[in-house]
Amino acid sequence: MRKVAAIHDLSGYGRASLTVVIPVLSHMGYQVCPLPTAVLSAHSEYAGFRSLDLTGFMSESIAHWKTLGLTFDAIYSGYLASERQMEIVEGFFREFGNERNFIVVDPVVGDRGTLYPGMTAEMVKGMRRLCARAGVITPNLTEAAFLLGRDPREETTPEEAARWCRELSEMGPERVIITSAPRVNGRNATLAHDRKDGRTWRVTSEHVPVAYPGTGDAFASVITGCMLNGESLPEAIDRAVYFIQMGIKATFGHAGNPLDGMDQERVLHYLNAPLPCYNYELI
């Protein structure tokens, strides 16, 4: 059984982080080994959320994993609650990263032009250092702007966003995927660049006028699973976009609270279904 070390928080309500990462990767046939960064009553977009920081316990868990001699086929990090946690995760990458596995960093710091509550400029710097050590990073457009030191509220063109992918790859990661990229002909766009072969890809999907938290976690989890499965970068993006699109449509028809996230439970089976078609384009 191939194993993924999943370094994310556990949010009790609102589908995000580990409550998304575990079902997606389990459904794709991988063993998920969580290294929880924090326990929250609900994800941080719900007003009044409570949070228990697990920084000390992370170091304890890592020390125990070392004594067990564990190895991982992929290491995948997301929401981190402090700068100190970023240092710990950097150490984890050094200790557990090797020639045979790969590192995915989802640099969770913000969305829609702003940082999430509790995120700081210092934490953005810490995230930059983690991205430099990753093989694949999956920022949304806001996170890409923060990582590059640009103004996340400024209008960005599709061409600029494609350039950002290339610039971010020069910071270290071989593959950069930017989600929520500027729309093209009214369609949502996901962009990706592979520094090794120099190619840049785009996958577009129907725009649905709603935003569900946690879709970035679902997206990066599918990408991690597809990479473990040896799929190409554009095929992995096609699969992740397809899964999110099915989840959004399965949810949008109901009149629920968007903060609760997408009804992934209705669509997990699509993860193992054949892709109906390829949509990726070389740009």
Alpha-carbon torsion, ordered 238, 172, 5, 243, to 10 deg: -10
The answer to whether 90 and 172 are in contact (CB under 8 A) is no
Cα–Cα nearest to 224, from 29, 69, 66: 29
Interaction of residue 192 with ligand PXL, rule CB under 6 A = no
Give the CA distances from residue 19 to residues 9, 125, 231, in Å, rounded to whole numbers and listed in that order: 9, 27, 24
Integer Cα distance of 5 and 76 in angstroms? 6
Chain position whose Cβ is nearest to ligand PXL: 44
Q: How far is the CB of 119 from ligand PXL (least distance, A)?
A: 10
Q: Which of 19, 44, 140, 264 binds ligand PXL (CB under 6 A)?
A: 44
- Provide the residue type at 166 as one letter: R
Cα-to-chain-centroid distance, residue 76 = 8
Compute how many residues bind ligand PXL; rule: CB under 6 A. 15
Q: How far is the CB of 177 from ligand PXL (least distance, A)?
A: 16
Interaction of residue 176 with ligand PXL, rule CB under 6 A = no
Q: Which of 23, 126, 139, 213 binds ligand PXL (CB under 6 A)?
A: 213
Q: Which of 5, 6, 7, 17 binds ligand PXL (CB under 6 A)?
A: 17
Interaction of residue 179 with ligand PXL, rule CB under 6 A = no
- Provide the residue type at 211 as one letter: A
Q: Which of 23, 214, 234, 247 binds ligand PXL (CB under 6 A)?
A: 214
Interaction of residue 19 with ligand PXL, rule CB under 6 A = no
Interaction of residue 116 with ligand PXL, rule CB under 6 A = yes
Interaction of residue 40 with ligand PXL, rule CB under 6 A = yes
Q: Which is nearer to ligand PXL, 17 or 179 (CB)?
A: 17
Q: What is the DSSP string of 112-160?
A: TTEEPTT--HHHHHHHHHHHHH-SEE--BHHHHHHHHT--TTS---HHH
Stretch of 10-18, 137-145, 198-206, 230-238 lying at the interface with ligand PXL (CB under 6 A): 10-18
Is residue 72 left, alpha or beta, with left meaning phi > 0 and alpha meaning psi from -120 to 50? beta
Interaction of residue 16 with ligand PXL, rule CB under 6 A = yes
- Beta strands (DSSP E) in 159-246 are 175-184, 187-194, 199-205
Q: Which is nearer to ligand PXL, 74 or 80 (CB)?
A: 80
Interaction of residue 79 with ligand PXL, rule CB under 6 A = yes
Stretch of 38-46, 64-72, 159-167, 174-182 lying at the interface with ligand PXL (CB under 6 A): 38-46
Integer Cα distance of 140 and 136 in angstroms? 13
Interaction of residue 13 with ligand PXL, rule CB under 6 A = no
Q: What angle do CA 256, 258, 263 make, to 5 degrees?
A: 70
Q: Which of 9, 143, 194, 238 binds ligand PXL (CB under 6 A)?
A: 9
Q: Which residues bind ligand PXL (CB under 6 A)?
A: 9, 11, 16-17, 40, 43-45, 79, 108, 116, 213-214, 216-217
